[in-house]
A and B are shown apart, each in its own frame.
Chain A
Amino acid sequence: MSAAPTGARRRPLTLLVTAAVLLALPWLTPGWTELLVIVEIFLLVVLGLDVLTGQAGQISLGQTLFLAIGGYGAGLLTVRAGWPSWLAVVVPALVAAAVAAVLGRAFLRLRGYYLALATLGLAVVTQAGATGLTSVTGGPSGLVGVPSLSLFGLTVFSDRANYYVLLVLCALAAWFTANLRRGQTGRALAAVEHDPQAAAMLGIDPARYRTGAFVVAAVAASVAGSLYAYYLRFISPDLVSVTVALSIVIMLALGGVRTVVGPLLGVALLQGLPLIGQSFALWQPLVAGLVLVLVLTYLPGGLWGGLRSLIARVGNRAAGDRTTGDRATGDRAETW
C-alpha cells in the first residue's frame, strides 16, 4: 500500500495525460468527431444538472426548458435580430438564470414527487411551446439557417473547431463543479441535501442554496443549447422533447453523480450506443431502459461508482488489505 503513489501526488500526472488525450482525440478517431461534439454538448448539460441533483439532491426532469432558451434564443437573436453570435449565447444564458431563479423560488419548496412533476411539466411545456408557437419558433419544422459561432473573428464551423470550443467549456464546467464540491458551498449544499432543517439551524438558507444550484444547472444547459443550435445550424422541437429531457436525467443517473467521469460515461453510453450498428439502433431504447433499471437498483453510485469500488476491491485484495474495502465507493451512498 505504501509503495503506491498517493492520490495527491498522482493528480497532476493524471490531469496532464487526460488533457493530452482529449486534445489529440479528434485526430486519433477520425470520423467520430461528430459524436464527440454531441457528447460534449450533453456533458455540459449533465455537469450542470449534477450540481442540482448530485450536490443539492433535487431532481429536475425539465432541463430541456433551458436547453430551449439557449438554442432558440441564440437562433432568434442571430437570425431575426442579427446579433453577434457570442452575445446571443450570453444573453439567453442570463435569461435562463433569471427564469431559473424565479422558478426555483416557487418550485424548490415542493417535495420529491411534486418537484419532479412540476419540472416534468416544464419539459412538456417546452416541447409543446416549441411546437405550437409557430410564429416565433418556426413550429414543428424548427428554426433553420442559424449561423455558426464566431469568436474573435474566427468562424467555428468544422466539427473539430466545435469540439475544441466545447472542450474548453466542458473543462471549465468540470473544474467549476469539482471545486464547488470540495469548497464551502459544496459542503453547504451537501448539508441542505441531507437535512434541510439541520442546515437551516446552522445558518444555511436551504432555499437560497437550492435556487443557486438550479441557476447553475440552467446556465450550463442554456449555453449547451446555444452551441447545439450553432453546431447543427438549426433548432427544432425534436431536440428539446420530453424524451430528451428524460434522457438527460438518465445519463446522470446511469453514470453516477458527484463526479466528472460518471456523467461522461453516462452521456457517452447513451449517445454512442446507437452508433454501434443499424440493427442495434432498434434495440437501443430497450437496452438503455433495462440498463438504467439495473444500475439504479444495484449500483447506487452509478456505473462509475460501481467501477471504482470494483477497482478498489481488486486493488485491496492485491495489497492484502480488506479493512478499507468500502472507502472508495464514492464520497458516500446517494440519498436522493
Chain B
Amino acid sequence: MLQVLFGGLIDGCVYALVAVGMSLVYSITRVINLAQGGFVVLAALVTVSLQAAGVPPLVALVVVLVGFAALLAGVDRAVLRPAARRIGNQRMLLVTVGLLQAISGLLLVVWGNLPYTGRPFTAGRPWTVTAGALGGVTVQPQQVWIVALLLVAVLALAGLLRYTELGLTMRATASRPDAARLVGVDTDRIRLIAFGLSGAMAALAGAAVVPITFLQFDTTTSYAVSGFVAAVLGGLGSIGGAVLGGLLLGVVEGVFSRYTGSSLAQVAAIGLLIGLLLVRPAGLLGRAEEVRR
C-alpha cells in the first residue's frame, strides 16, 4: 500500500511539473497550452538521443533545459503570439491542439513509433525504507531526483515571482495586463519569459521521467491531458494549486490502478475532476473567477 502511494506520488510530481508550466503560461496569456504535453515527450526523447550520443545524463539535462526554454520562447514568438493577436481564447485552445499534433507528428517522423527509455541521472541501487507496520517502500535514485527537481523548480519559481523585480512585473501582468502595459511593462517580453520558463519545466519533466518509463510519439496526449487536469484541479493560474493538483491526481490514479486496473483509474480521476468542477469550479486553490456563465 505504501509502495502504491509512493509510486502515485512520483507520477504526481511529473504531472505537477507539466501543470506548473501550463498554469504559468495561463496566468500571463490566458491560453491553455495543451502542446506542453508534447514538449515534455519531445524533451524526453531528445534527452535519450543525447545520452545515446555519449553525453552524461546530468549534462544532457542542462542542455535540454536551456534548449527548451529557448524553443518555447521561439514557438511563442513564431506561432502563438501571432495567433493570439488574431483569434479568441477558445480557438487558441485548438491552435495548441494543432501544435500538440504537429509535435506528435515530428516525434513519429524523427524517432519512429518505438518506445524509448533513458539512463538514470546517477547510478546506484534502489534502497528500501521500512516504516513499521505500514510496510516497506523501495526507492529508486531517479525517483529521488524527480522529487528534488520538482522541489527546486517550484521553490525557485515561487522565489522569482515573490522576491524579484521581474516576478513583480510578471504578477502585475497576470492580474491586470492592460494596467501593466500602461505603467510601462513590456508585456510581450513577459510573455516570452513565461513561455521560456514553461519550456524549462517541460524539459525537467521529460528528462526526469524518461529513465523510469517508456515514451513514444503517442504518449503526448496523455501528458497533455494529465497536466491540464492537474492544473484545473488545483485552480488555473495558481502555482501551488498546480503542484497540489498534480500530486493528488497521481495518488488517486495510483491507488485506483492498484484495485481496478490503470484504464479504470483514469475514469476515476476524471470523475473526481468533473465532480470537483461542478461543485467547486475554481479548483482547490484557485480564486473564484468567472468560471460559470
Contacts and interface: CB of A to CB of B under 8 A. Distances in A.
A328 interface: no
B218 interface: yes
Contacts of A156: none
A286 B108 contact: yes
Contact of B99 (A113, A124, A289, A335): A289
Contacts of A89: none
B102 A289 contact: yes
Interface of B: 32, 79, 82-83, 86-91, 93-95, 97-106, 108-109, 218, 221-222, 225, 228-229, 232, 236, 260-264, 266-267, 270-271, 273-274, 277-278, 281, 290-293
Given A111-B290, A293-B102, A59 B93 contact: yes
B267 A246 contact: no
Interface residues of A, number: 48
Interface string A104-116: 0010011111101
B86 A297 contact: yes
B266 A292 contact: no
B292 A111 contact: yes
A63 to B, nearest CB: 14
A142 interface: no
Contacts of B291: 110-111, 114
A250 interface: yes
A106 B274 CA distance: 10
Given A132-B263, A242-B225, A246-B97, A297 B87 contact: yes
Contacts of B278: 106
Given A132-B261, A287-B105, A293-B79, 4 more contacts: A113-B89, A296-B98, A297-B83, A336-B90
Interface in A21-48: none
Contacts of A286: 102, 105-106, 108-109
Nearest to B222: A242
Given A282-B109, A289-B103, A300-B87, A124 B266 contact: yes
A285 interface: yes
Contact of A297 (B95, B229, B260, B281): B95
A283 B110 CA distance: 10
Contact of A293 (B83, B109, B221, B277): B83
A292 B218 contact: no
Contacts of B229: 117, 121
Interface in A111-150: 111-114, 116-118, 120-121, 124-125, 127-129, 131-133
* Dominant secondary structure of chain B at its interface with chain A: helix
A174 to B, nearest CB: 23
Instruction: Say what secondary structure dominates the interface of chain A.
Output: helix
Given A59-B93, A117-B277, A125-B267, A110 B292 contact: yes
A185 to B, nearest CB: 20
Contact of B105 (A109, A112, A129, A283): A283
Given A109-B293, A132-B261, A114 B90 contact: no
Contacts of B236: 113
Contacts of A131: 263
Contacts of B87: 296-297, 300
Nearest to B282: A114
Contacts of B97: 246, 249-250, 292
Contacts of A118: 274, 277
A113 B86 CA distance: 18
Contact of A285 (B94, B105, B290): B105
29 contacts: A59-B90, A59-B93, A110-B293, A117-B228, A120-B225, A120-B228, A124-B267, A127-B263, A128-B264, A131-B263, A132-B260, A132-B263, A250-B97, A253-B94, A282-B109, A283-B105, A284-B105, A286-B102, A286-B105, A286-B109, A288-B105, A289-B101, A289-B105, A290-B98, A292-B94, A296-B83, A296-B98, A334-B91, A336-B88
Contact of B292 (A109, A116, A285): A109
A125 B271 contact: yes
Contacts of B94: 59, 249-250, 253, 292, 296
A92 B86 CA distance: 41
A59 B88 CA distance: 13
B293 A111 contact: yes
B249 to A, nearest CB: 12
A243 interface: yes
A112 to B, nearest CB: 5
Contacts of B90: 59, 112, 116, 336
A325 interface: no
A298 interface: yes
Most A Cβ at <10 Å: residue of B79, B90, B236, B290: B90
